[in-house]
Structure 1
Amino acid sequence: MEILRPEQTPDLGMSKSTLYRAARDGRYERIARGIYRPADAPAADWDWIEAATRRPEATICLTSALAHHDLTDSIPDAVDVAIPRGTRIPATRSAIKWHLLAKQTFDLGRSEIPVPGTELRIGLYSPERSIADAFRLRGDLGYELGRDALREWLRRGGKPAQLMSIAARLPRARGPVLHALEVLT
């Protein structure tokens, strides 16, 4: 078992205090409150582990997704993670910035990828969804992020029709994306 939570200890034939002692002795690493993994486990991104463990529907979005797809030079100071609006934002110790997105469009452009070094999976928005989100949230993210990501995406052979099909289904995205495409193409 890669990730261990205190409530799982009875299934493994150990008590919670045994887990805590093993963590104190260095056999387990404490990722965050209630999340442990073996000390000899392969290297992994603890922020991704905490997000995927706290919320199974957690999805890497916005600047973090654009950086994952190599569409921006911006390095986010925290992992941008989306969860459906109406769910509780979990208390986390890691550098995670939680975003609440509409339930109706939450799965649009979403896929799941493995968290490197673990057996966990985490959601990731497609380049098209990430670009459309950058345009519709440009007031918070800055106007350059979406434009620069779109320019790089087009340079790599991105298809404007695919982007427009996503943008048309998101609120406040179609107009700004269409305008940017007209200027850049």
Structure 2
Amino acid sequence: MVRHQLSDEIPPLHDIALPRHTRPPAGFSHVSWHRFASDTFDVGRVPLSIGGVDTAIYSAERTIVDMFRLSHHEGEQAAVDALRRWLRQPGHTPSGLLTVAGYFPTTLPRLSRILEILL
């Protein structure tokens, strides 16, 4: 969230996604592991090199979709606040967000409804 300027809060844990049925490595008490279905794991993943280490992060759009999908962790208000911030940033379009949300049929209606309210 912070990387995409969707929040000013520094989270106490790093959120890291793994494909479902992948066992997380031991010894990372500062990490919150999330397991996503393999058919949607790569949706919105963007390659990123950090200190010469190749990794990936989710796009801002996927981050917002995941915030709504996982709102039982942080609360729906955090997801709505992130969506508001995202909408204020230049170059972001609701159609791009809805394209990503289309991969998550249970989240799409709720996100669409909130977008209608905000716009």
The TM-score with structure 1 as length reference comes to 0.61
> Which of the residues 97, 104, 107 maps onto 1:173?
107
Following the alignment from structure 1 to structure 2, what is the Cα–Cα distance between the partners of residues 93 and 153?
A: 30
The residue type equivalent to 1:144 in the other structure is Q
Instruction: Go from structure 1 to structure 2 and tell me whether the alpha carbon gap of 1:71 and 1:110 turns closer, same or farther (over 3 Å shift).
Output: same
TM value normalised by structure 2: 0.93
**1:153-183 alpha-carbon deviations (Å, 9 max, x no partner):** 1111310000001101114210111011011
8 Å contact 1:71–1:152 — kept in the other structure? yes
Counterpart of 2:75 in structure 1 is 142
Unpaired runs of at least 5, structure 2: none
Shift of the alpha carbon at 1:74? 2.2
| Matched length | 118
4+ residue segments displaced more than 3 Å: none
Counterpart in the other structure of 1:24 = none
| 1:8-87 mapped onto 2 (5 Å cutoff) | 66-87=1-22
Moved more, 170-179 or 104-113: 170-179
Q: What does residue 164 of structure 1 align with?
A: 98
Which runs of 5 or more structure 1 residues have no equivalent in the other structure?
Answer: 1-65
Distance in 2 (alpha carbons) for counterparts of 1:91 and 1:98: 11
Alpha carbon RMSD of aligned pairs, Å? Answer: 1.2
